[in-house]
Structure 1
Amino acid sequence: MADHPSNKRSLDNDPLVDQEEEEEDDIGPMLPPPTPEQPRKKKRVLAHEKLYLSHLPAADMYEKSYMHRDTLSYVVASAKNDFIVTTSVDGHLKFWKKTANNIEFVKHYRAHMANITGLNISADGELLATISDDMSMKVFDITNFDMINMIKLGYKPKSVCWIHQQGQAQALIAVSEADTSKIHLYDGRAEGKPLHTIDNLHSQPVHLIAFNWRFNCVVSVDTQGMVEYWSPENPFDLPKSVGFELKSETDLYEFRKSKSTPTSLTFSNDGLKFVTMSFPDRQVRVFKFLTGKMIRKYDESLHVISEMQQAGTAIHKLDDMEFGRRLAVDRELEKSPAASFVNAVFDESNNFIVYATLLGIKMVNIRTNKVARLIGKSETHRFLNVTLYQGAPKKKGVYTLAMAASDNTTLKESEMVDPTLLTTAFKRNRFFIFTRREPYDDEGQQKGDRDVFNEKPSREEQTVAGTQERKQILGTHAILRTTSGDIHIRLLPDVAPKAVENFVTHAKNGYYDNLIFHRVIKGFMIQTGCPFGDGTGGESIWGDDFEDEVTREVRHDRPYTVSMANAGPNTNGSQFFITVVPTPWLDNKHTIFGRATAGMDVVHEIEHVRVDKNDKPYEDIKIINIEIR
């Protein structure tokens, strides 16, 4: 029967008909028109990021370290004169010269009779000033590495900063008092009388002063977190170069609001930004200088790092025991005066900030808001005060990023620059040098001793050095080459020296070669090391059984633990096993001397082979050899 024309809907002009085969009319509501695609948010990128990163240190481990007689406080470097200055809490100061691939010691001063509380280099890189609790300031000519002036202050100083322009006749320097809010201005080359005293800027002692020479402006911060901009010329008002009149237009009250105090304030090379590190909130903040607006904020607080560690979202996941140790050190640091040495600096491109954290030294791309690189993560030290050297010491001219980006083939020399990061560490009388070179060669062998004893070591350091030498002789890594694949083991000579010595010596002598895994229990462990292949034999390198080395430092709290097999207390010989699950019931019964770090798939492959009623695999799985590194 034909449809009644009044009940039939005309679809001649419906665009959906063109996309479908002809069919009976649908009854019901129509679908909404397709929504237009939302434009995707552009991903932030930094042009030439690879080039900028090539001008920053990349090695995970420090290449060299050098000593002071006491704990280091500051380290500063300048590419202008290729110099480095280090100071220690006992008042000593050392000058170093940057060479092509290292640094050379130049001169040593007993600059002060008490702790050096601050130092600063002038904008032209010609003058260095240090202040101390001995109520004095010393001025040095950097080019000639000479002390040129001594000023008795008559008060305990808190901070110091050169505030004169390059080429200015008068070397103006600002020094704040530790017990009052006063800031005194001196001529660093003249006698010790203050030229001016500023007492109306702050209400609390000023502990940070920084000079932006590009805009001829001084920024000071007091102990309550109040930030002030001022001109280095009388009447010391707010400079006209800045883009605000009232502080309420800025984010400079940020520290007062958060009840935190900046430990450092550093300007970018172009003077348009500055970065601060603050305690106790552990925030890294980046501000625009001209507007005083905060543009970046990075949370490095302990509770955030702990949450990321537990959730597995940290940039570098640490072993739980190592993380706990580092956490304890950082809590101690927070209560220590050494927290005031923690700083953050810009690289030469002004795109990256560099600062030390619990996990290592971070290099953060402030354009993309991402951690571009993390170095020093495998080191045990808690790094504090960092400085960057990005010059070219073996060339007479300055090698810039513009030169590196050019097509001039004569400038395309990768050896021209030697990016170097120098840093102090908590409770260490050494400073550490990170470059683009690892301290180990391609075969994993250390290139000489990276900890240079340029001072007479203390008795404690001599003991540590002896332990390190013993570790080098024994080896710290082993590779079990089996018929099923390789298993990598990190040895623990500090925890079980006798067990490691026994294992390493047997391995080097070929004792374990061609021995089988004679006992394999699924969901428990795999065992080897018996010369008879049945678990009844094996002796130590000393001929007799040796004693257990049980400690609370390491436990059977995780899989892939490597332990000595025994027949009871103090009966260790040559047999050992690798667990595949946590086995806490073995604690205090077996000596742990290693952890498997790679080849876990090989461990599980061996674990799942078919075995007889005595847990011996039907098909032999042999150790081909063991390589010690």
Structure 2
Amino acid sequence: MNVAPFPARKPTPSLQSSPAGPMAESTSRPSDVGAPGSPERREPPGTLPPPLLPVTTMAAASRLSRRGAHVISERPARQSDVSTMASPELERKRKLPVAGGGDPAASDEEDEEERWVGPLPGEAAQAKKRRVLEFEHVYLENLPSASMYERSYMHRDVITHVACTKTDFIITASHDGHVKFWKKIEEGIEFVKHFRSHLGVIESIAVSSEGALFCSVGDDKAMKVFDVVNFDMINMLKLGYHPGQCEWVYCPGDAISSVATSEKSTGKIFIYDGRGNNQPLHVFDKLHMSPLTQIRLNPVYKVVVSSDKSGMIEYWTGTPHEYKFPKNVNWEYKTDTDLYEFAKCKAYPSSISFSPDGKKMATLGSDRKVRIFRFLTGKLMRVFDESLSMFTELQQMRQQLPDMEFGRRMAVERELEKVDAVRLINIIFDETGHFVLYGTMLGIKVINVETNRCIRILGKQENIRMMQLALFQGVAKKHRAAITIEMKASENPVLQNIQADPTVICTAFKKNRFYMFTKREPEDTKSADSDRDVFNEKPSKEEVMAATQAEGPKRVSDSAIIHTSMGDIHVKLFPVECPKTVENFCVHSRNGYYNGHIIHRIIKGFMIQTGDPTGTGMGGESIWGGEFEDEFHSTLRHDRPYTLSMANAGPNTNGSQFFITVVPTPWLDNKHSVFGRVTKGMEVVQRISNVKVNPKTDKPYEDISIINITVK
């Protein structure tokens, strides 16, 4: 909204005012001059004013007054009138602008007006009425309103593009070249088909205006064309160059389904038959001098708009009009428009979108400003500043987020600019053309372009950075009979239950999920059992390994203290070399599994053994139940005393029993898993190894027990 002060309006001249200058008296009582010295006549209250002179008569009177003549009136002239005309100096002052008419009954006010020299202030401007969009609440009912996303679905890699077709399909594309088709149903979506579309990164995707065709281009120098309704690949074009942008540039009824692609490193645009071969129908080699950033079709006026990195915006037509400048726009020279706005600001459009009626063109610039143009005239209509400095100032004026969260989001925004991911953010119109939606650091903004107001923000509480948006509005179509007017007017409860399910589908920065905002809030977002994040992909081997390693530090440690009835034994553990063995020992220790176990076997000059809950040397199991495999490492040997190792009954039969040596025992290498060393309390180990034992069972006569084991 323009907040600059409006210029003051000039007073509207009355029909009775003289062309030579404003009248000294009120226009409702014209000043008439009689013979000099005539007495002043005052009408009694309630008397109607004398009839006004017609315009021609007043003009003639003005001319006569300038010549020094007297105009004969129906009433005698007042003394003030005579004195006014008798003075040339006052006559000169009377020709100055007048701020307002005087009171003919008050001569002192007339004198004050006659003494006014210089320009007078104009009338105060009336307060401008606030713009109101009629039926705004009805339009908002058909837009998502939930503050948090309801569902999210997965790809194997980061999702970069999303599109919604008029045929109720949602198409997502990920960084690894995969494309997925989803079908919008009455509530939510369902998976349809999965394509490995490209061998590399997908650069751009496009959906035709009627929603029948879909294409994608990637860095493998290929274009893939899909039939949306039948969700099938119907064509493949080898381009021979690295494509940048793509767009269907045909309208329903055209003979050729033409598609435009640009070369990523130059300003060339190639036009192909989407159902034909890889021979271009036309090439624009001089339309743009810099690499293109956007190609978009306005299907209402059948005009294509393209933009490049130098900030230049061009209008052109498709195959039916021989790729010439359109004749249905209201400008011929670009200097008559505001299309040089980006070049002046040293920015370029990273996203272009058209309203459903084709009359508005919304752009999202690399300088983070939203500009809305009138399409036919090219004139700038609105500008919204979404720069980081604006958000910082807004946070200082009125806190939008907690300071720590605001700092985290600002860091994400700077990373966006660093990796040039801002180009993936887009702007879209709703079906009415009165609202635009785009992602910001605060969430998805819904802006009313008629009233210049931010109506709502979706996802402000979420910790994701929304990027590319697609909007579904209305009711998902089913293969059934059309609903007639009579059916609509009936009180059929089945038909009344069919409600619109407006949904915003968005991607997020560095996320392999796409998110759906609807009118329904999620049931429970804090519970671990929350099912709003659907795991529709099996985790890869790398993800499994990462999850295992991430889980490791929570369950394992690198040191422990064994508290025995004869003293404490401090041990160092090796979780990196023997992760499973150390995890088994640490979890058992934390769970109190070893508490109260006796040292059931002691061989003097060899080792002490424990960890059997039965105390016989025949029991014990691992934390996973049963036994687990050996873990041998080349750096962990029985080459020194006070080595902590696993007891077993053969290969891969480890359970819960372990032993500590008191001498080097190299013959045990690669037979028992070494997972620790004693660092303190060696004398305790020696004292235990020297107690008297039964020579047949090696069990001490007096029980030596483990009180507990502390894992640090």
Return the TM-score normalized by structure 2: 0.57
1:96 is the counterpart of 2:196: no
Distance 1:31 1:334 in 2: 69
Give CA-to-partner distance per residue, 1:433-492, whole Å, 9 cap, x none. Answer: 000000027x9979941111111232488589999xxxxxxxxxxxxxxxxxxxxxxxxx
1:263 is the counterpart of 2:346: no
Distance 2:480 2:257 in 1: 27
Give CA-to-partner distance per residue, 1:529-585, whole Å, 9 cap, x none. Answer: xxxxxxxxxxxxxxxxxxxxxxxxxxxxxxxxxxxxxxxxxxxxxxxxxxxxxxxxx
Per-residue deviation, 1:207: 2.4
Aligned residue number for residue 454 of structure 1: 536
Q: Structure 2 counterpart of 1:452, which letter?
A: V
Aligned residue number for residue 296 of structure 2: 210
Aligned residue number for residue 383 of structure 1: 466
Distance 2:344 2:123 in 1: 44
Aligned residue number for residue 247 of structure 1: 334
Distance 1:341 1:414 in 2: 37
Q: Structure 2 counterpart of 1:303, which letter?
A: S
Per-residue deviation, 1:14: 9.7
Aligned partner of 2:395 among 301, 309, 314: 309
Maintained 8 Å contact 2:142/2:474: no
Maintained 8 Å contact 1:399/1:417: no
Q: Structure 2 counterpart of 1:421, which letter?
A: V
Maintained 8 Å contact 1:135/1:153: yes
Q: Kindly tell me: are residues 461 and 108 of structure 1, through their superposed partners in 2, closer, same or farther at Cα, counting changes over 3 Å?
A: farther
Q: Structure 2 counterpart of 1:385, which letter?
A: Q
Aligned residue number for residue 161 of structure 2: 74
1:325 is the counterpart of 2:408: yes
Distance 2:480 2:455 in 1: 29
Residue aligned with 1:124, SS: coil
Maintained 8 Å contact 1:61/1:438: yes
Aligned partner of 1:58 among 129, 141, 145: 145
Aligned partner of 1:134 among 195, 212, 220: 220
Aligned residue number for residue 274 of structure 1: 361
Distance 1:95 1:173 in 2: 21
Q: Kindly tell me: are residues 28 and 247 of structure 1, through their superposed partners in 2, closer, same or farther at Cα, counting changes over 3 Å?
A: closer
Q: Structure 1 counterpart of 2:304, which letter?
A: V
CA-atom RMSD in angstroms: 3.3
Which ranges in structure 2 are unaligned for 5 or more consecutive residues? 1-40, 47-105, 114-121, 553-712
Per-residue deviation, 1:59: 0.3
Maintained 8 Å contact 2:159/2:175: yes
Maintained 8 Å contact 2:168/2:477: no
Residue aligned with 1:337, SS: coil
- Structure (1 or 2) with the larger CA radius of gyration: 2
Residues 215-614 of structure 1: pairs in structure 2 closer than 5 A: 215-233=301-319, 235-279=322-366, 281-312=367-398, 317-393=400-476, 413=496, 415-440=498-523, 448-457=530-539, 458-459=543-544
Q: Structure 2 counterpart of 1:337, which letter?
A: D
Residue aligned with 2:173, SS: strand
Identical positions, percent: 46
Q: Relative CO higher for 1 or 2, CA cutoff 8 Å, sep ≥ 6?
A: 1
Distance 1:244 1:399 in 2: 43
Moved more, 129-138 or 201-210: 201-210
Q: Kindly tell me: are residues 399 and 11 of structure 1, through their superposed partners in 2, closer, same or farther at Cα, counting changes over 3 Å?
A: farther
Per-residue deviation, 1:36: 8.7
Give CA-to-partner distance per residue, 1:335-362, whole Å, 9 cap, x none. Answer: 2232111011000010000000011100
Maintained 8 Å contact 2:267/2:289: yes
Q: Structure 1 counterpart of 2:408, which letter?
A: R
Maintained 8 Å contact 2:354/2:429: yes
Residue aligned with 1:305, SS: helix
Maintained 8 Å contact 1:330/1:358: yes
Aligned residue number for residue 171 of structure 1: 257
Q: Kindly tell me: are residues 32 and 388 of structure 1, through their superposed partners in 2, closer, same or farther at Cα, counting changes over 3 Å?
A: farther
Distance 1:265 1:290 in 2: 15
Maintained 8 Å contact 1:399/1:416: no
Distance 1:381 1:32 in 2: 69
Maintained 8 Å contact 1:164/1:172: yes
Give CA-to-partner distance per residue, 1:360-379, whole Å, 9 cap, x none. Answer: 10000001100011110000
Aligned partner of 1:46 among 111, 129, 133: 133
Which ranges in structure 1 are unaligned for 5 or more consecutive residues? 1-9, 16-25, 468-629
Distance 1:273 1:371 in 2: 18
Per-residue deviation, 1:167: 2.6
